[in-house]
Every structure is written in structure tokens, then in C-alpha cells.
Homo-oligomer: A and B are copies of this chain.
Amino acid sequence: MIGHMPRDVAATSRVRPGSRRPGRPRDARADDVIREAAAAVLAECGPGGFTVDAVAAKAGVGKATIYRRWSSRAELLLETVHLATPDIEDPDTGSLREDLIQLTTGMMFKMRDSAAGRMLPAVMAEAAVHPEMRETLTRFVQHRRSRAIQAVLRGIERGELRPDTNPELVVDLLAGPVFVRTMLSHQPIDESVVEAAVDAILAGAG
């Protein structure tokens, strides 16, 4: 069982307003440096190559500096995945086509170019084996999906789609080309593919 983020207790629990703990304070920058290094290592080496030593070397810190903040490799891995997937805001442009293009294009760029996207295969593999990582991944995906589903629902309300349209199916169809090309067939993908996918789907349900 991996602990549920009970990290950094010493740094937060004993802090009373006005009084500080003795000793050298922690370097606040180290947290971000470590997190960025962890994301880079996971993206470059996969889950098998995600070692604490590698993260420490890439971050330029000692291992103790990592273990002072995270209790184990598993916890660092989980938080790395948690934080590497920041939200994209709901575009809500008034046009369903534009909303879907923006959402899907944003996902495409994330998966194709960002460290978060490059670490997704590793996360999926971990999720297939470890329930906690699976929960993390599922929650994140559901959150992202709900964004797109709401855009589709707005399109239905505006009459841009037939009222019997299944929003979940539309979203899953849209994710297909991005997902398949970046992770399976390793074929090139860009905005034009996304636009073609959106238009193909809207042509059927519009």
C-alpha cells in the first residue's frame, strides 16, 4: 500500500505562526527541480528506468534531499504523474467545431510534444498492473473527458448536433486518431488531422 501523500509532515505540522524551526531551511527550489527531473526521467526512460538515483542525478541533488520530501520511489512516481497533467481550460467559443478542434489539438500537442505526453505510455503500463496508478489515470482521463463532453452537450443544445447524439461516443471517436498515431502506429499527426477528424464526426452527427 502506497501512502496517501503524508509527505513533508515535519515541514508543515510544527510550524506555528511567528516561530520557525531551528536549522537550515529547506531549499524551496529543490522541490520543483526534483519534480521536473522526475518527469523528464519518466518520459525518457519509462517506468523501468525511473530510478531515484537517476532523478537525483538529473536534478543535481542528493538522494537524501529526495527522500526527505518523498517517502519512497512509488510516492514520487505517483506525484510526478499527478502533477504532470495540468488542466487545459474549457474554450467555449460558441462554436462546437471550434471547441472540439481546440480541445483535441491541445491534447494532441500535449501527447506529442510535452513531457507529460511522453510519459503516458509508462503511466498506462503501470496502471495496467498497479491499482493505485490505475485510479490516478482513470480520474485524470475522466476529468478531461468531462470537459469535452460538456462542449458536445452545448453543441446539442445549440442544435449543432442531433439531440440523440451520444456525447461519450463523440469524445472517444475524437481521441482515436491522436491516441493511435502517437502511441501505436507512430505516424505523424498535426492540426490538419485533428480538423479532419472533427469534421468527419460532425458530418455524421450534425
Query: Which residues from chain A sit less than 8 Å from chain B, CB to CB?
Result: 44-49, 118, 121-122, 124-129, 134, 137-138, 141-142, 145, 166, 169-170, 172-177, 179-181, 183-186, 193, 196-197, 200-205
CA distance A49 to B203 in the complex (A): 46
**Apart from A121-B127, A175-B176: 13 A-B pairs, beta carbons within 8 A:** A46-B125, A47-B47, A121-B125, A121-B128, A124-B183, A125-B125, A128-B183, A142-B185, A145-B185, A169-B193, A172-B181, A173-B173, A179-B180
Q: Are A205 and B203 in contact (CB under 8 A)?
A: yes
Q: Are B166 and A172 in contact (CB under 8 A)?
A: no
Q: Are A180 and B169 in contact (CB under 8 A)?
A: no
Contact with A48, one of B48, B118, B196 (Cβ below 8 angstroms): B48
CA distance A175 to B46 in the complex (A): 25
10 tightest A-B CB contacts, nearest first? A176-B176, A204-B204, A125-B125, A203-B204, A172-B177, A121-B128, A46-B129, A121-B125, A141-B185, A121-B124
Q: Are B177 and A169 in contact (CB under 8 A)?
A: yes
Q: Are B138 and A196 in contact (CB under 8 A)?
A: no
Question: A125-B47, A125-B124 in contact; A172/B183 too (CB < 8 A)?
Answer: no
Contact with A200, one of B173, B177, B180, B183 (Cβ below 8 angstroms): B173
CA distance A137 to B184 in the complex (A): 7
Which chain B residues border A44 with CB–CB below 8 Å?
129
Q: Are A200 and B201 in contact (CB under 8 A)?
A: yes
Contact with A186, one of B122, B134, B175, B186 (Cβ below 8 angstroms): B134
In the assembled complex, the CB of A66 is this many whole angstroms from the nearest CB of chain B, namely: 20
CA distance A122 to B166 in the complex (A): 31
In the assembled complex, the CB of A84 is this many whole angstroms from the nearest CB of chain B, namely: 15
Q: Are A126 and B175 in contact (CB under 8 A)?
A: no
CA distance A193 to B168 in the complex (A): 10
In the assembled complex, the CB of A55 is this many whole angstroms from the nearest CB of chain B, namely: 16
Contact with A169, one of B126, B170, B200 (Cβ below 8 angstroms): B200
